[in-house]
Amino acid sequence: MRHKVDRRKLGLPSDQRRALLTNLARQFIRHGYVRTTLGRAKELQRIVEKLITTAKEDSLAARRQTRKILVGHSSSTPKPTKALLGKSDIEKLQILQDRSLINGEDLVKHLFDHVAPRFRDRNGGYTRLTKTGVRRGDAAVTAVLELVD
């Protein structure tokens, strides 16, 4: 019996589970939907609903809290000095933009500027979870988690 157990372990150690769910959350915010297994989607739904609710506040503390979840830390990342040596200004800008896309810094801005304002008048239930059948290789139940419009 699963008395007082509130999370799924997803068959992973805690650090790998945290990394998986962070990457899924990043993809969800970037694209508005994600296709994955049912257990992962249910766990991701909990995280994303809390992120959107926090983002609706639109305060500095809310931005720091979401950055901590999406990026992994609250401060900005140091510049990659070795990668910038001998590059032109345009190449330096491109490297820094690519790095921010990888680290998720742009996702915090996207979440606060585009996703959260869509749900300003909604008190929860920002996502829809739809089962899509079973995966061919291992017969795992798959699902699509998407934003409600």
∠ CA 128-74-54, rounded to 5°? 35
Q: Is residue 94 part of a domain?
A: no
Q: Is residue 34 part of a domain?
A: yes
| CATH value at residue 55 | 3.90.1030.10
Q: Is residue 49 part of a domain?
A: yes
Which residue from 105, 102, 120, 116 is spatially nearest to 48, judged by alpha carbons? 116
Summarised one tens digit per residue, pLDDT across range 41-96 is 999 999 999 999 999 998 999 999 999 988 875 555 555 677 778 888 888 888 77
pLDDT of residue 73: 59
Terminal CA-CA length for the chain = 37
Summarised one tens digit per residue, pLDDT across range 99-130 is 666 667 788 989 999 999 999 999 999 999 99
Q: How far apart are CA 28 and CA 52, in angstroms?
A: 12
What is the domain count for the chain? 1
